[in-house]
Amino acid sequence: MRTVLKRINQYYVPAIMVLPAVAMIIFMFFSPIAQSVYLSFFDWNGILRVPMRPVGLNNYRTMFHDAAFQTSVKNIGLFLLQGILLQGPVAFILALFISNRKRGMRYFKFTFFLPVVIPLTAIAIMWRFILNPNWGLINPIIRFFNPAFNADFLGNPQIAMYSVVTVSAWVYVGLNMIIFSAGMAAIPKELYESAEIDGATGLRQVRSITLPLMMESIKVYIILMVTGSLKTFDLVFVMTRGGPNESTMVPAVMMYLQTFSYSKFGYGATIATFILVTGLIGSLIANRYLFTKD
């Protein structure tokens, strides 16, 4: 009997104690999701006394045929491509550099990690001024080498999205540098010492030891990159608000504009549902199929 009571006290009592908090977290998390999915099947302008009009899957048909939404999906692809070709490799190289534990690495880490702790709104405003064609800092620097150069980085539809993506890479490369350096720190130093005895140094060690043993860190990076790209909002909204001519539109900004600027709450909820489902599918695919040991 005492053993039974001991087990009850050990497992069930703590579970009962945390149950209210868990229930509240579940309610606060899943209730808005369910409400958003439900609202995506209606046409509603957000006014409480105005009845919601059922439209079935019409919002989804409209979304997939919307040219602005198609542009926003392409821009998310550009964010992902940037993460694979630019942000990830640069963060990995920086992580290799700071893993040497040389003097001054603490300040090096701080310098690259600083954009992560600064509010994105402040960063977006700062870069909007830096990239301004009239009084920004970038154009005069380039004109020092090419006097005829003058580009409107955020006003030209051809290059605006590339400018935003580059700023995004600058912001998050420090965070991913820390993720990769944590994975490198977990690799036993004895492996590198053994490799040096066998004559493997430099890039050979990176290819044969570092990369295979930090695949979990790379998986974490890919999952964060996929979900982060889908949720991109602050940077784009403050720098361009989706313009010019919707060339920098992303799903989160489009969701905000449709919901709060155009009072299309049902259509906005449809885009929010797309972001949620796509993020979940992308995370599951990355977690299940990328870099498996099977």
Whole-angstrom Cα distance, residue 44 to residue 245? 26
pLDDT at 130: 94
For residue range 5-56, list pLDDT tens digits in order.
Answer: 566 566 677 777 788 888 888 888 888 889 999 999 999 998 888 899 999 9
Lookup: tokens for 16: 């009962």
For residue range 50-80, list pLDDT tens digits in order.
Answer: 899 999 999 999 999 999 999 999 999 999 9
On the CB side of 70, CA atoms within 13 Å amount to 6
pLDDT at 10: 66
Please check the confidence at residue 1 and state whether its pLDDT lies above 90. Answer: no
Whole-angstrom Cα distance, residue 242 to residue 261? 13
Radius of gyration of the chain (CA): 24
**110 or 166, which is more confident?**
166
Whole-angstrom Cα distance, residue 88 to residue 81? 10
Lookup: tokens for 171: 């912001």
pLDDT at 153: 94
Mean pLDDT of the chain: 88
pTM of the model: 0.86
- Torsions phi, psi for 266 (to 5 deg): -65, -45
- pLDDT band of 203, cuts 50, 70, 90: confident
pLDDT at 236: 95
Residue pair 155/132 in contact (Cβ under 8 Å)? The answer is no
Stretch 76-102: mean pLDDT, rounded? 89
Query: Strand, helix or coil at 151?
Result: coil
**124 or 199, which is more confident?**
124
For residue range 208-265, list pLDDT tens digits in order.
Answer: 888 888 888 888 898 889 889 999 999 999 999 998 999 999 999 999 999 999 999 9
pLDDT at 235: 94
Please check the confidence at residue 103 and state whether its pLDDT lies above 80. Answer: no
pLDDT at 80: 93
pLDDT exceeding 90 applies to what percent of the chain? 51
Residue pair 163/154 in contact (Cβ under 8 Å)? The answer is yes
Total residue count of the chain as it appears in this document: 294
